[in-house]
Chains A and B, each alone.
Chain A
Amino acid sequence: EPEVTQTPSHQVTQMGQEVILRCVPISNHLYFYWYRQILGQKVEFLVSFYNNEISEKSEIFDDQFSVERPDGSNFTLKIRSTKLEDSAMYFCASSDPLNTGELFFGEGSRLTVL
């Protein structure tokens, strides 16, 4: 069964360092998302991506964040200069062309900023 895959599963980084989280969405999906979940808190929307551009972004998604689909299969989230408060689980999700609301999530990448 097709699934969304994310790498790395866990990354530890120093504050101020750049981090790239990678995702491979399901191949025929057209809508891509990043969400994050700070420990013990709710899942928060970061950004949605369609047709090679950002559709919508939240207030969390500031200039330190960027997304890219460099090669038609990978979907990356880059944090340019990490802060302590960026520590969270980051989930990638994709949705089919009809976008009827079922998001398929990856297992998440846990980011720890020291």
Chain B
Amino acid sequence: AQTVTQSQPEMSVQEAETVTLSCTYDTSESNYYLFWYKQPPSRQMILVIRQEAYKQQNATENRFSVNFQKAAKSFSLKISDSQLGDTAMYFCAFMKQGRDDKIIFGKGTRLHILP
């Protein structure tokens, strides 16, 4: 069975700083996706960034980037130039590559961006 572990329950950083959220996972699969989802207060979860396991290059989306270490089964999220709107719960997630496979979430990291 796959597991996703986020070791940081809560973090706070000053606006404009860079912050890194950690995630590790465990799987015996070779083909899979990894995700970071963001859940702002009282809002639905939205996808921040996605990484296909077969790609060596780390995914980036504007201020968001990942450090994907497949051998170490590590998938951290870096937020550069953090903004107040980045305040949210961030979930690391895993999905086997298959037609209708489910996403498995970690417990989440609550990120506070301070003015």
CB distance A42 to B44 under 8 Å?
no
CB distance A99 to B100 under 8 Å?
yes
Q: Mark B75-115, 1 if CB is under 8 A from A, else 0.
A: 00000000000000001000100011111111110000000
CB distance A105 to B44 under 8 Å?
yes
A21 to B99, CA, bound (A): 26
The smallest beta-carbon distance between B2 and chain A, in angstroms, is: 11
User: Size range of the interface on A?
Assistant: 20 to 34
Inter-chain CB contacts under 8 Å: number:
53
Partner of B100, one of A41, A56, A106: A56
Residues of A close to B47: CB separation below 8 A? 102-103
* A75 at the binding interface (Cβ < 8 Å): no
A103 to B100, CA, bound (A): 11
Residues of B close to A108: CB separation below 8 A? 44
CB distance B106 to A42 under 8 Å?
yes
Partner of B103, one of A55, A101, A106: A101
CB distance A107 to B103 under 8 Å?
no
Residues of B close to A33: CB separation below 8 A? 102-103
B residues apposed to A, CB below 8 Å: 33, 35, 42-47, 50, 91, 95, 99-108
